[in-house]
Homo-oligomer: A and B are copies of this chain.
Amino acid sequence: MSLKDSYTLPAAADMHVHLRNAPGPIASLVTPTIRKAGIDTVFVMPNLAPRPVVSVAEALAYKQSLQQLDADVNYLMSLYLHESITPDEIRAAKREGIKGVKAYPRGATTNSQWGVVSFDLFHDVLKAMEEEGIVLNLHGEVPSSPADGVTVMNAEARFLPVLKGLVEKYPKLKIVLEHCTTADAVEAVRSLGDNVVGTITAHHLSLLVDDWSANVHHYCKPSAKSPEDRRALLNAVVTSNGKFFLGTDSAPHDITAKKGKGNTAAGVFTQPYALGYVLTALEEAITRGDIPPSSVTEDVLKGFFSEYGRKFYEVDPAKQQIRLTRGGAKVEDSLKGNGVEVVPFRAGEEMWGVEWL
């Protein structure tokens, strides 16, 4: 054991969550697990089906629906970058406390059929975002294309020139490269200024391509990659200094979307044990020699779980504290209710427990 058996930390912020349509059966099942995980603040993704959140009014209505499911969570809302959005809508978003605009390259992931073909079309909107301090949240993958040699394995690396192009054109735009999965992405984020950061999920600190190859519950976009890539992510966590913070990309799917007749939906559900999954992955990484035992300090955990994300999004520090205790929980085989069933990451494993202090 190279971690302590217990940590007292500020409540966490998860800066990339999928809560699905609200009201709705999956939102009702998973939204209450946010605080269960020791998290008081979440940045909520806008890729709802059948239609994404593309206006301030829709985002505020969505927020209200989520508040009805758990009023004690601070929901940071986002819009889906879409041609219907105007610079005026960006300014209205700023006034209403909406924090970001998420850009999905068209066809790259779940519900991305409304997404971006070229950022050139959005110049005025991006300028307005830069001026207003609205964050651009990037799903950093180009769509797979056999003709261009792009697959799920190199789609993120191929996106990085787009990121760099955006930074050149909009040097003050705040950008999050979401759910980094590669050493290349970590390096790109590090090479850019303070206005460019990356989120890292819990599951990408554990998984490799082999893990999702044979397990549908481990399949997600961007997919988990090589041991070298995982090592880079783990090192990014423990040497973040604000450049990387937690965004779980927790993506609940009903089991029929994972094990049913059709193709496998992409997404790993990590919401209820997000912090424990990270601690477990860090400890496994120490055992493998991927990170030094001394690298997992309380400051690292405070920063990655709670402080860095809030600072970037300009939200207040956590008011409450939590205690994480080794072996204090066990991950359910599945979460069932409202006619849906969602299988969590590391189902059945012993896990770190969470108490609110």
Query: Which chain A residues have a beta carbon within 8 Å of chain B's beta carbons?
Result: 144, 146-147, 149, 151-153, 208-210, 212-216, 219, 223, 226-228, 230, 259-260, 263-266, 288
**Copies of the protein in its oligomer:** 2
**Residue from B149, B208, B223, B228 within 8 A of A213 (CB atoms):** B223
Cross-chain contact B149 with A226 (CB below 8 angstroms): yes
Question: Which B residues are CB-close (under 8 A) to A263?
Answer: 214-215
Give the docked Cα–Cα distance between A228 and B212 (Å): 22
Of the candidates B149, B210, B230, B264, the one whose C-beta lies within 8 Å of that of A228 is: B149
**A227 in complex: contacting residue of B149, B259, B264, CB < 8 Å:** B149
Q: Which of B209, B214, B266 contacts A214 (CB 8 A)?
A: B266
Would you list 11 pairs from A and B whose C-beta atoms are within 8 A, ordered by A residue?
A144-B208, A144-B210, A149-B226, A152-B209, A152-B213, A153-B153, A153-B226, A212-B213, A214-B219, A216-B264, A259-B259
Task: Assess whether B266 is in contact with A151, with CB atoms less than 8 Å apart.
Answer: no
Chain B CB count within 10 A is highest, among A144, A208, A210, A260, for A210
A13 CB → nearest B CB, Å: 30
Q: Does the CB pair A226–B259 fall under 8 Å?
A: no
The interface residues of chain A, by DSSP majority, are classed as loop
* Minimum CB–CB distance for A152 against chain B, Å: 5
Would B208 and A146 count as touching, CB distance under 8 A? yes
Bound complex: CA of A62 vs CA of B219, how far in Å? 38
Instruction: Tell me if B210 and A151 are in contact (CB < 8 A).
Output: yes
A223 to B266, CA, bound (A): 19
The complex places the Cα of A288 from the Cα of B149 at a distance, in Å, of 12
Additional A-B contact list (12), CB under 8 Å, known A212-B213, A213-B223, A259-B259: A146-B208, A146-B227, A147-B288, A151-B209, A151-B210, A151-B226, A152-B209, A152-B210, A152-B213, A213-B219, A215-B263, A259-B260
- Distance (Å) between the CB of A125 and the closest chain B CB? 30
A269 → chain B, closest Cβ, in Å? 16
A146 to B152 CA separation, bound complex (whole angstroms): 20
A264: chain B residues at CB < 8 Å are 213-216
Given contacts A213-B219, A213-B223, contact A208 B151 (CB under 8 A): yes
Residue of B nearest to A290 (CB): B146
- Within the complex, what minimum Cβ distance (angstroms) separates A288 from chain B? 7
